[in-house]
């Protein structure tokens, strides 16, 4: 992980610690990120990027993903989910996973055919990895999908789990015709009470324990120059050492947001002028 990635991770972690979940989807996302952090802890960054590369080879060039949370993305199926507008809660209904659908009596021969081909391709791609690495990776996938009963017991079941749930071809199948998924009914994922936990942890001041007490610098508003620089260069913001002021200061959030929307307006105006395409410099 390079310095910028590290800063981004640290910053979003800080935000997660600060913000109370606003919707059911927020609860679900927070929970799944927490599970993923636990599941990936046993791997180093190199191992994780090799795994990602292997799964991207399975998916093919056009369908590469930059991270496991996008690769194993239950959100893919939840574009129109009620959970985006529902208040925080303790359970969420999500579409059935490919690995669950595969054992469903109504599954089609076409689905089975794609599934078998994906499994066989991944088996070859994974040849050089030991059993425990492949099982660990499958458990990381299960964490990302918040699947508490993935049935991963050995190399064979792990490869099957990974191939079915990472498959871009099954995604395409679903996008063309999702009748199978709908007919299987939703899966219900139970969630811990994240809203309460987060409130408790804020009250206990655990944020301070993790990140140290706020300093004078953290409470000092950005200069106009800084506001502009951060609005246009998120990387400069993340590297500035001054990120902790943003979540605590509504005023500076607004100042930055104003510049961001200003830039967006300008971009839209240019796009309109050039018929929906940005001119190439
Ligand atoms: Zn401020």
Which of 176, 123, 141, 113 is CA-nearest to residue 52?
A: 141
Dist. CA 259 → ligand 1 center (Å): 15
16 CA to centre of ligand 1 in angstroms: 20
Mean per-residue pLDDT, 20-32: 84
CB 113 within 8 A of CB 150: no
User: Distance (Å, rounded) from C-alpha 115 to C-alpha 112?
Assistant: 5
Alpha carbon of 270 to ligand 1 centroid (Å): 31
| For the chain, domain boundaries | 3-195, 214-273
Report, as an integer, the average pLDDT of 208-215: 66
Residue 217 burial by Cβ neighbours in a 10 Å radius (0-12, 13-18, 19+): exposed
66 CA distance to ligand 1 centroid (A)?
Answer: 33
pLDDT of residue 208: 60
Q: How far is the CA of 69 from the centre of ligand 1 (A)?
A: 32
Assess whether pLDDT exceeds 60 at residue 210. Answer: no
- Give the pLDDT of residue 261: 86
Q: What mean pLDDT comes out for the span 107-127? A: 97
- 10 Å CB burial of residue 97 (0-12, 13-18, 19+) is buried
In 3D, which of 21, 14, 10 has the Cα closest to residue 196? Answer: 21
CA of 260 to the centre of ligand 1 (A): 16
Query: How many angstroms is it from 244 CA to the middle of ligand 1?
Result: 10
- pLDDT tens digits for 216-259? 888 889 999 999 988 888 778 877 888 888 887 888 888 888 88
How far apart are the CA of 213 and the centre of ligand 1, in A?
17
Distance (Å) from CA 254 to ligand 1 centroid: 9
pLDDT band of 11, cuts 50, 70, 90 = low
Cα(6) to ligand 1 centroid in Å equals 24
State in Å: Cα 251 to ligand 1 middle. 5
pLDDT tens for residues 38-65?
999 989 999 999 999 999 999 999 999 9
Across the range 95-118, mean pLDDT stands at 94
For residues 110 and 196, give the distance between their C-alpha atoms in angstroms, rounded to a whole number. 45
Task: Tell me the pLDDT band of 23, cut-offs 50, 70 and 90.
Answer: confident
């Amino acid at each position: 992980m390079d310095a910028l990635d590290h800063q981004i991770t640290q910053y979003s972690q800080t935000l997660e610690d600060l913000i109370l979940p606003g919707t059911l989807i927020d609860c679900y996302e927070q929970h799944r990120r927490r599970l993923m952090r636990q599941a990936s802890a046993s791997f180093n960054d190199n191992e994780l990027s090799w795994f990602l590369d292997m799964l991207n080879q399975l998916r093919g060039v056009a369908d590469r993903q930059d991270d496991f949370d996008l690769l194993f993305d239950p959100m893919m199926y939840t574009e129109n989910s009620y959970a985006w507008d529902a208040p925080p809660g303790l359970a969420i209904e999500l579409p059935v996973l490919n690995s669950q659908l595969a054992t469903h009596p109504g599954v089609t021969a076409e689905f089975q055919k794609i599934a078998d081909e994906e499994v066989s391709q991944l088996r070859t791609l994974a040849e050089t990895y030991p059993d425990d690495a492949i099982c660990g990776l499958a458990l990381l996938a299960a964490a990302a999908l918040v699947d508490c009963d993935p049935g991963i017991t050995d190399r064979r079941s792990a490869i099957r789990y990974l191939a079915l749930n990472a498959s871009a071809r099954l995604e395409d199948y679903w996008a063309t015709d999702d009748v199978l998924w709908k007919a299987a009914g939703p899966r219900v994922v139970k969630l811990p009470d994240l809203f309460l936990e987060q409130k408790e942890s804020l009250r206990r001041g655990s944020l301070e324990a993790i990140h140290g007490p706020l300093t004078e610098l953290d409470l000092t508003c950005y200069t106009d120059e800084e506001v502009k620089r951060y609005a246009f260069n998120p990387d400069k913001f993340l590297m500035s050492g001054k990120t902790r002021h943003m979540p605590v200061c509504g005023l500076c959030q607004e100042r930055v947001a104003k510049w961001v929307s200003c830039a967006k307006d300008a971009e839209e105006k240019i796009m309109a002028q050039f018929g929906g395409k940005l001119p190439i410099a």
